[in-house]
Copies of this chain bind each other. A is one copy, B any other.
Amino acid sequence: MVYNEKQMLNALHKHGYKVTPQRRVIIGVIMNSHEHLTPAALHERVLRLDPSVGLVTVYRTIEILTELGFICEMHAGGGSRSYLMRRPSEHHHHLICSDCGKVIDFTDCDLDKLEHRLAQENKFKIDSHLLEFLGQCRECNKKTLINVVTNQDKSVPSR
């Protein structure tokens, strides 16, 4: 289940935030993008629709939308920063393609048993968890395999 634009704008209003043209555009871009976006990437797309929107406004809107639960952060490993993406409404996790950045959500992490045991053994009160699988999507894997076959006789540079 994914929120639609009207629901998001209503929620803004309901929580005392003003529905500005800038916020409309930003929300529109997020809604119509299936990838996760950095603030900068989001801003770039917003500029195409309204060149006057500032990056600061993008940051501020991201903060609100996160607070309202419409978007969520992503951790794609490596030295990479936190990204964001539109999100289903339930607790979920990510399958991330390290090559192209494609993201697939999944909801059944089934970590309750593990969580319970860890809580007991370590006297921790566990509030939440972060789980992400990193790998290669089908398309990127195909490309890799083709490259391997094509270049199998070529010598490899030593560094």
Contact = CB atoms under 8 A, between A and B. Distances in A.
A135 B81 CA distance: 22
Nearest to A138: B123
A2 interface: no
A141 to B, nearest CB: 5
Interface string A75-93: 1010101100000000000
Interface in A89-119: 95, 97-98, 104, 106, 108-110, 114-115, 118-119
A20 interface: no
Interface stretch (A9-17, A49-57, A125-133): A125-133
A108 to B, nearest CB: 8
Given A82-B79, A95-B118, A114-B110, A135 B125 contact: yes
A127 B135 contact: yes
Interface string A137-158: 1100100000000000000000
Contacts of A119: 135
A136 interface: yes
B127 A130 contact: no
Contacts of A129: 131-134
A3 interface: no
Interface of A: 73, 75, 77, 79, 81-82, 95, 97-98, 104, 106, 108-110, 114-115, 118-119, 122-138, 141
